[in-house]
Amino acid sequence: MPFIIWLLDGIYYRLQNLLNAVFVPYIFNQILKTNTRNYSYVGTANAIGVLIGGFIMSVLPQKDKANKTLKVGMVSFSILSFLIFISMYMYTVGIIKPGFLITSLIIIFTLFGLSSVIINIPLFTLMQKMIANEMFGRVTALFTTLSMIAMPLGMMVDGVVADVFPMRMLLLASSLLIIFLTFVLYIQKDIQNL
């Protein structure tokens, strides 16, 4: 069970990192050809979303609601990833202007930060409940190390993929993958029992 929770967290973290660290900078640098200040607004919005999410999670009663909270976070993450694709599609076909796309991304990434907290806090709470106290440090260190090893490797692959395939296609594929994984995890019996 802890492995499933770690895998769930790793998948969502990896996909959010893909959007945050590869696709969105590529959009700002290569497609919009805008300055770095506009991209920094998106990063700041994400951090603000994390802070807001942390505050909300600290005020909400969490007893016996991890499953429901986790599902809300997963569904919101799926919707937001698809909204990035929709925003980018609307920009590339000329429906919206660059300023509107940047504003959309700022709003979406504020909500992304919020949804990442809604996913991560219940996951780590559940891991703490399921892993024995004397093993928790070791298990967490192992999971963190594996995640840190996977991140630069994934970013290298993502950078190459971003140069080879059109960004609209990558955003659509990423959002559909997130939606599919959310659906699979939503009906997964192990997650239902959390």
Contacts of 186 (CB under 8 A, 6+ apart): 71, 74, 75
**What is the pTM (predicted TM-score) of this model?**
0.83
pLDDT in tens, the chain (194 residues): 556 666 666 676 777 777 777 888 888 888 888 888 888 999 999 999 999 999 988 887 766 667 778 788 888 888 998 898 899 899 989 999 999 999 999 999 999 899 888 888 877 777 777 778 888 888 878 877 877 777 777 777 777 887 888 888 888 888 888 888 778 777 766 656 65
> What is the three-class DSSP state of 166?
coil
Distance CA 172, CA 178 (A): 10
Domains of the chain: residue spans and CATH:
2-192 (1.20.1250.20)
Distance CA 89, CA 101 (A): 10
Burial of 94 (0-12, 13-18, 19+ CB in 10 A): exposed
